[in-house]
Amino acid sequence: MEALFENVLTRIDTVARSVLLTCMVVMISVVASQVFMRYALNSSIDWADEVSRMAFVWSIFIAIPLGVREGAHVGIDILTSRLPKQLARALARVMLSLAFVLMCVVTFESVHVASETWSERLGAINISSSYFFVAVIIGSAHSALHLINLVVFPPADDESEAKRD
């Protein structure tokens, strides 16, 4: 079961990395083009702000679960580093469980907000403003999957220590 869940998460992560790379390329290309147009040609691209902002938001929320998987997010371990290993592991699982619940709430609420605001349009590119929330939905649901994986199948001690360093 663990191998199957890991395999599914790895495939989702591969897609997320591709989406992240695409968003970063779009954001950098649009911003660079806008700067060139504005300063070299004294013109501008009407939709550059909205597209670059959309790519930026998508980049952030698609990258969050990748950081969760790698243990790359900042954590304060002043207390847990002084606890016995067994207690520290138990506390870590409790905290991961709480983070999982939080991501489920964020996913649920984002779906609600996205459905409520679906009719609102972005001016320059004429798409729903809810696409900003779609990134939040995907990122928080993906993060929840990684968090529940860490709760149910915690990494071996040497793996978790290596990720912290």
Q: Residue 37 contacts by C-beta under 8 Å, 6 or more apart in sequence?
A: 43, 44, 45
Tell me the percentage of the chain whose pLDDT exceeds 90: 72
Residue carrying structure tokens 């371990």: 77
C-alpha torsion angle, residues 17, 23, 26, 32 (rounded to 10): -100
Domain count, the chain: 1
Q: Residue 44 contacts by C-beta under 8 Å, 6 or more apart in sequence?
A: 34, 37, 38
Give the chain's mean pLDDT: 90
User: Cα–Cα–Cα angle for 23, 24, 26, nearest 5°?
Assistant: 65
Q: What is the mean pLDDT of residues 136-157?
A: 93
E strand or H helix at 50, and its extent? helix 48-70
Quote the domain boundaries for residue 122.
2-164
Quickly state the pLDDT bin for 163 (edges 50, 70, 90).
low
Give the Cα separation of 164 and 72 in Å (integer): 7
Using alpha carbons, list the distances in angstroms from residue 112 to 80, 122, 133, 134, 139: 36, 19, 10, 11, 15
For 61-114, the pLDDT digits (tens) are 999 999 998 877 777 777 778 889 899 889 889 999 999 999 999 999 999 999
Stated pTM of the model: 0.85
